[in-house]
Amino acid sequence: MTQVPTLSRLFIFITLICAATLSGLAKSDSDRVSELLALRSRSQSGVIHLDDRSVSHFLTSAKTPRPYWIVIFFDAAQLHDKQELHLKDLREEFAVVASSFLTNNQDPSSSSHAKLFFCDIEFKESQNSFSQFGVNALPHIRLIGPHQSIKESDQMDQGDFSRLAESMAEFIESRSTVVVGPIHRPPILSKKQLTFVIIALLIWMPFIGKKIISGKTLVHDPKIWLTGAVFVYFFSVSGAMHNIIRKMPMFLADRNDPNKLIFFYQGSGMQLGAEGFAIGFLYTIVGLLLAFVTRVLVMVRNRNVQRAFMIFALFVSFWAVREVVYLDNWKTGYGVHAFWPSSWH
Amino acid sequence: MAASETSSETTLRHAFGNVLSFFILLLIGVLAFSIRLFSVIKYESVIHEFDPYFNYRVTQFLTKNGIYDFWNWFDDRTWYPLGRVIGGTVYPGLTLTAGTIWWILNSLNIPLSVETVCVFTAPVFSALASWATYLLTKEVKGAGAGLTAAVLLAMVPSYISRSVAGSYDNEAVAIFALIFTFYLYIKTLNTGSLFYATLNAIAYFYMVCSWGGYTFIINLIPMHVLLCIVTGRYSSRLYIAYAPLVVLGTLLASLVPVVGFNAVMTSEHFASFLVFIIIHVVALVYYIKGVLSPRMFKVAVTLVLSVGLVVCFAAIAVLVALVASSPTKGWSGRSLSLLDPTYASKYIPIIASVSEHQPPTWPSYFMDINVLAFLVPAGIIACFSPLSDASSFVILYIVTSVYFSGVMVRLMLVLAPAACILSGIALSEAFEVFTRSIKFQLPGASINSQVSAGDNISDSTMAHNDMAKTDKSEDTLKERPSRKNRRKEKEPVEQPSIRSRIEKRLLVLPLEASILAILLLVFLGAFYVVHCVWAAAEAYSAPSIVLTSQSHDGLHVFDDFREAYAWLSHNTEVDDKVASWWDYGYQTTAMANRTVIVDNNTWNNTHIATVGTAMSSPEKAAWEIFNSLDVKYVLVVFGGLVGYPSDDINKFLWMVRIGGGVFPHIKEPDYLRDGQYRIDSEATPTMLNCLMYKLSYYRFVDTDGKAFDRVRRTEIGKKYFKLTHFEEVFTTHHWMVRIYKLKPQKNRIRGKIKKSKSKSSSTSTKRSGARKKNPWH
């Protein structure tokens, strides 16, 4: 066991430093809790920022039935611009869980008060802790129980933060005795923005009222309505609601060949964003061309323009229908066939 | 519809056109009826799926006991021990309709069974629905568009899916009621007749009786009224179309027990009352405007506006306060999930769990409305020029329904009529333009001969529409001020039509391109027909109570469900309680006539969660739950042997979710390995020990020696185990339904054990696997 001497050496080193800096503060559990509480009250969302020193102070050097649970979010500022990791989003969600926990358990008499602390660690600052925890891939969230050492602690799986704050809270509740409670998301508009909107609306109201009475608004223009109606149609038939509800990405990266992107998903239960919009476009374009031919093109006096455009429109429509039929057969695997009288065979 | 020919010729042409339309409509009715008979031909005359079995059972009760007993029926065969008040919780429209049909047929000495009447109710009503579509579209864009829309609706797959013979469900009659209500509304709007307004309220009443979807009507019509007011289209016809509907309709709706005071209390109806207030204010303003001089009017406006606004705001504030005082803001969960699509998936697993409440992907549109999806945009544009009251209603209808269908795949059914109407308009307009181009440019066709025989119906509508086109600025044609005025107006209207005829000759497209376009449109229509027939025959006709599968060695029929229900009805006591997941509740009560704990009417979430908890608990805990509910038999559906994918193991996660929603000791992550649902050797111990797993896979290894699950395509995790608290009593031929009996209570053995310990220890060694769990050790 080579670890023991290093650990003990580290322990001595840290106690020395702590003793020096904190001027002999007693390391009892209640002090640690109050320290954590103080740190938490200083942070904005209730997430405590840890570094190598504080990790050892609160986790490694603290004796094992620690009176608190700690959840650590492993962050790396240099990876924030990598979209596929969603580090920023997850960090925000993590903060939402933290602040919800705070608001739900403000009462000191509640069983979960000061039992759970949300922390984050930055890779560049605290590479030591990253190696201590054995973290070599992000995103990574860990829950360390009172009895657990760093190595034993539970790691949050991909599935546990897939549904964001709610599933993180579920994970914590399932592995610990702490109750997180309902998630409070910050409202989309802050109070200031809301008052601004209301004031703007109030100022705007008389003007719009006057316009409505005089009958000269956008709502009296059928073209607006027409565009809106066609757009809603396009939006719905493209399955965009499905993509919003299921939070589908616009496209996927091919597993076999990372440079290739998958735009079309095979299987009728699911679709990708770009795929939906492409088909929605095909659905809509045929009708628009047909309407154009029957309503606008008939007014044109030049025969050749008419002819050329009609051929073009027919060709595009034919292509669009054929493409949708082909893609539908490919995606669903249905073989649509006609029924002929059996004597014809 | 008058063209400018001599009167005798026009009447002849009209008469001929009317007779032809009549026969076409008759054929459309036959088509609508017969395309839905595939299920009877391919399978048998049997009630389909789940909900229809309940409706069938209610209809049986109605025909046997009469309407009063039906109204007061308390059903003790379901939701044991709570029971269910059927008369007050069911939409009676369908059952009353079928019951009446049966009664009429019987009094005419046509001895049809109740089941036969129930099976064929849906096809009959789909014929009625296509005729209603004809009437509605005719009011909007003329008879040609009406016929096209009717023939499209007769075979639109989305509607077929809910109305094949045997699919005896509310939607079957409700879609007819929906279209007919809309037709009467438009008819009232076009004529301003109080007669039609009254009929409209009655049709609305029928819709309320039939389906919960009536809220769509009572929100869509106010929206249209509001739209008309906002865009400056208020007229007395609008008032007549709307005000009686709200008053009479609401009064009639509250007569239906299941709606009752909801008709005035819930938010779904508030829009109609709000618009009711607004239309009165607007009507007053218009009245005052007519009475006073312009200057006086301005004074009055400022006066009324200031007073009126205060009153309005007070009323709105009261409404808002009322609405806000209820936790769900007065909306039912289903409506909320329409307004906020992510609502259901977050808060109501029982709504989110139903597959027909999922949002559809684009292939669903192609499957359910097929090529109509391509034609609808053209129809929307056609409705905008010219924009009349009627056509704006159709536009509003398509826009709202297409949005709703995007949220819930089941509402595709509401979209289908709208899509048919608009596609009908688009198709008939396209045909009109193309045939006109051909007709007037055919070599040899004299341009001046107006009375060329041939396309008679479309010709008259053509003139009609063209007039509207040329007089676009006036827009007066479709908005007939009132019935009396209309006749007077006919004279001046006929004169511009001559002008339009001359002008129309210029509005043609090149001949050969038109021929090509017509050919392509005909191909498109043919493709639609092929697709619809295929969908009716292959996709939507399966009764799901009898399953078939085609393999290389011929057709296999799986009739396990009826086998199991028959076993239950022959081998168990009349008062025995059977527990199963709620999907099979209606079928068990209807076919086996046994009491169930939960059924498809998911009115009590806690009760369902109790069953879900029992299914996801280990054997002993489950036994205790079931025993406390007096359950004697537990029924599970298992598809692993034959590869039937919608079995209980696949539904199991929902049982866990719903159970966990009420009983927090059931946690979904306990059943998932790394977020994945699996039943193989990687499965979690909680999963492998839960009742559902055990009841599904008990003795499964005996079938092939490997216990390979054909649905999950894997070998199961735990193959050899014994049941301690349940015993298998019946497994159907293909193992699709397995019935277990709860072992009798064991508490009396405790005394015995104390006396003869050696004996009990020998028995307990037999149950080696469950030794730890034995309560008396």
Set of chain A residues whose Cβ sits within 8 Å of the Cβ of B371: 321
Six-digit token string for B595 = 């009491």
> Which segment, B76-90, B149-163, B484-498, B656-670, is predicted with the most confidence on average?
B149-163
Q: How many CB atoms lie within 10 A of CB A284?
A: 24
CB pairs under 8 A between A and B: 201
Q: Which residue of A has its CA nearest to B426?
A: A291
- Cβ separation of A303 and B510 shorter than 8 Å? yes
Higher pLDDT, residue B501 or B96? B96
Closest residue in A to B664 (Cα) is A174
A306–B345 CB contact, under 8 Å: no
Each residue's pLDDT tens digit, B352-382: 667 777 888 898 899 999 899 999 999 999 9
The verdict on B645 touching A (C-beta cutoff 8 Å) is no
Cβ–Cβ of B507/A299 closer than 8 Å? yes
Helix or strand or coil: residue B720?
A: coil
Q: Of B304, B242, B313, B240, whose CA–CA distance to B273 is shortest?
A: B242
In chain A, what residues touch B522 (CB-CB under 8 Å)? none
Residue-level pLDDT at B674: 79
pTM score, whole prediction = 0.75
Contact state of B534 with A232 under an 8 Å Cβ cutoff? no
**Spatial distance between the Cα atoms of A82 and A88, rounded to a whole number of angstroms:** 9
Q: pLDDT 10s per residue in chain A (345 long)? A: 445 556 566 566 665 555 555 444 445 677 778 888 888 887 777 788 888 877 777 777 777 777 788 888 888 877 777 766 777 777 888 888 888 888 877 777 777 777 788 888 888 887 777 877 777 777 778 888 777 777 777 777 666 665 567 777 777 777 777 777 777 776 666 777 888 888 888 888 777 766 666 666 666 678 888 999 999 999 999 888 888 887 778 777 777 777 777 778 777 778 888 888 999 999 999 999 999 998 888 888 888 888 999 999 999 999 999 999 999 888 888 878 888 888 886
Q: Give the pLDDT confidence of B764-774 residue by residue, as tens digits.
A: 444 444 343 44
A297 at the B interface (CB within 8 A)?
yes
Please report the pLDDT score of residue B633 as a whole number: 93
Chain A interface disruption, residue of B361, B368, B671, B684, most A CBs within 10 A: B361
| H or E segment and range at residue A203 | helix A191-214
pLDDT of B1 > 70? The answer is no
> Could you tell me which of B743, B775, B722, B463 has the C-alpha nearest to residue B631?
B743
Comparing alpha-carbon positions, the chain A residue that sits nearest to B343 is: A245
CA distance B167 to B54: 12
Written as one letter, the residue type at B100 is T
Bridge pairing between strands A69-75 and A116-122: parallel
Q: Note the pLDDT tens digit of each residue in B437-479.
A: 888 887 765 544 444 433 444 444 444 444 434 333 333 334 4
Distance from CA of B505 to the nearest CA of A (A): 10
Helix H, strand E, coil C: the string for B333-363 is HHHHHHHCCCHHHHHCHHHHCCHHHCCCCHH
- Closest approach of chain B CAs to the CA of A123, in angstroms? 26
Rounded distance, CA B407 to CA B338, Å?
6
CA distance A96 to chain B (A): 17
How far does B359 lie from chain A, in Å, by closest CA?
5
B335-344, B553-562, B727-736: segment of lowest average pLDDT: B335-344
Contact B403 A232 (CB under 8 A): yes
How many angstroms from the chain centroid is the CA of residue B240? 30
B475 interface with A at CB cutoff 8 Å: no
State pLDDT tens for residues B154-187: 999 999 998 999 999 998 899 999 999 999 999 9
Phi, psi of A285 (to 5 degrees): -65, -35
- Interchain CB contact of B661 with A (< 8 Å): no
Residues in chain A within 8 Å Cβ distance of B405: 236
Lowest mean pLDDT of A54-58, A323-327, B53-57, B606-610, name the range.
A54-58
ipTM given for this complex: 0.79
pLDDT in tens, B474-522: 333 344 444 444 444 444 444 445 445 544 456 778 888 899 999 999 9
What CA–CA distance (Å, rounded) separates B181 from A130? 68
Which of A158, A220, A221, A233 has the most B C-beta neighbours within 10 Å, making it the best mutation to test the interface with B?
A: A233
Cβ of residue A239 closer than 8 Å to a chain B Cβ: yes
In angstroms, the Cα distances linking B297 to A180, B239, B285, B288, B294 are 63, 22, 9, 7, 5
Q: With an 8 Å Cβ cutoff, is A123 touching chain B?
A: no
B contact residues 663-702, partner A, Cβ 8 Å cutoff: 667-670, 672, 674-676
Contacts of B426 in chain A (CB under 8 A): 287, 290-291
Distance of CA B276 to the CA centre of its chain: 28
